[in-house]
Amino acid sequence: MHLYLHIPFCKQACHYCDFHFSTNTTQKTRMVQAITKEILLQKEYLKNKELSSVYFGGGTPSLLNTAEIEILFKSIQSVFSIHKNAEITLEANPDDITFQRLLDWKAAGINRLSIGIQSFDENQLKFLNRAHNAEESEQCLKDALKAGFEDFSLDLIYAIPSDSNDLWRLSLNKALSFETNHLSAYCLTIEDKTVFGNRLSKQQMRPIDEELASDQFTILLEETTRNGFEQYEISNFARKQHYAKHNSSYWQGEPYLGVGPSAHSYDGQNRQWNISNNSLYLKSIEKELVPFEIETLSEKDRANELIMTGLRTMWGVDTQKINHLIDQEFKARSQQFIHDGLLLKENTILKLTNKGKLQADRIASELFFT
């Protein structure tokens, strides 16, 4: 079973980000208390009480101090047992990372970091409105290695306007030169209700250049392969099978509990999500009520999710799991994608080809059951 904790605070708003967070951190202590309370309120959500992964996400969980992380751990351990090989990840931003803090996190039980590097280029970091600079991008990785973190992942963003293919290759190779076994690389997307979304609507910014995105995705595949990484999910690459256990559980449809404002949970049948508002969340939890909405997934919804997430992974979609729904239309559409070199079929498994990976969302949605 898996547990996600959403820490809804950030130092400043990155211009591309549409996650739930607040830059007002005055309620941080109250929020930590509320999350510990929610863990208790939700203690019956997962039937199996042994956790194989815990993920501190956000927002910016590296804004928590060590005492706050320890309070959260205590609360988790009062309800769950944590498997001895559990993956326990903390998302951390370079500007929050110091050698001492890394040692403290390790001592508190964190055994994996997901570090939001995004870029090693000063101008790009400024353009994205990240709170760190290029020097901190490098220094935190050196420190993580020195502190003995064997498992850490780097996040990078590509297709940033003004980026050139050469600059992207350089950034990528710099990331790969650190002894990391995991890399997540995301194409920049422009979401509504973000600074970039606002600039785009006022025509102060151009949309993402599709050709640049496609070229840089190809470079990403070339460089990661050359460095011994497997692309196990469209945006995720691992060396020596260091696949992220927590995120893989989402892609494989396993149950998980999410606590904190905006956190999602899944019990195998229903999806639920907490309110994305810090004040309302706090008020409700303090009255011992979890403020969530819920949606029961139909058989077709679950099959469509399996197609959407499965196709993005190297394990593909096992058509045996959706056999009862497969009709002539699905067969014809998948055959056409196979014919066009976008999909391939290995026994009962449907997978995307490299060419197909560039159109993953379109292909998945055209295979959906309606």
Give the residues lining the site for ligand SF4 (CB under 6 A).
10, 13-14, 17, 19, 21, 58-60, 93, 116
Nearer to ligand SF4, 196 or 292 (CB): 196
Nearer to ligand SF4, 235 or 334 (CB): 235
Nearer to ligand SF4, 19 or 368 (CB): 19
Nearer to ligand SF4, 52 or 276 (CB): 276
Least distance to ligand SF4, CB of residue 323, Å: 40
Locate 226 and state its tokens: 């050359």
Nearer to ligand SF4, 130 or 322 (CB): 130
Q: What is the 3-state secondary structure (H, E, C) of 253-269?
A: CCCEEEECCCCEEECCC
Least distance to ligand SF4, CB of residue 17, Å: 3
Least distance to ligand SF4, CB of residue 291, Å: 21
Residues 6+ apart with CB under 8 A from 222: none
Nearest CA-CA partner of 347 in 325, 364, 323: 323
Least distance to ligand SF4, CB of residue 13, Å: 5
Give the orientation angle of helix 99-108 with respect to helix 134-146, to 10 degrees.
50
Least distance to ligand SF4, CB of residue 130, Å: 7
Locate 336 and state its tokens: 């056409």
Nearer to ligand SF4, 132 or 182 (CB): 132
Residues 6+ apart with CB under 8 A from 45: 257, 265, 267
Nearest CA-CA partner of 106 in 68, 61, 69, 76: 69
- The sign of the torsion formed by the CA atoms of 340, 341, 345, 349 equals negative
Sheet containing strand 230-233, strands side by side = 230-233, 236-238, 182-187, 152-158, 112-118, 81-92, 50-58, 2-7, 256-259, 264-266, 270-274, 292-296
Determine phi and psi for 33, rounding to 5 degrees: -65, -40
Least distance to ligand SF4, CB of residue 244, Å: 17
Nearer to ligand SF4, 19 or 369 (CB): 19
Least distance to ligand SF4, CB of residue 21, Å: 5
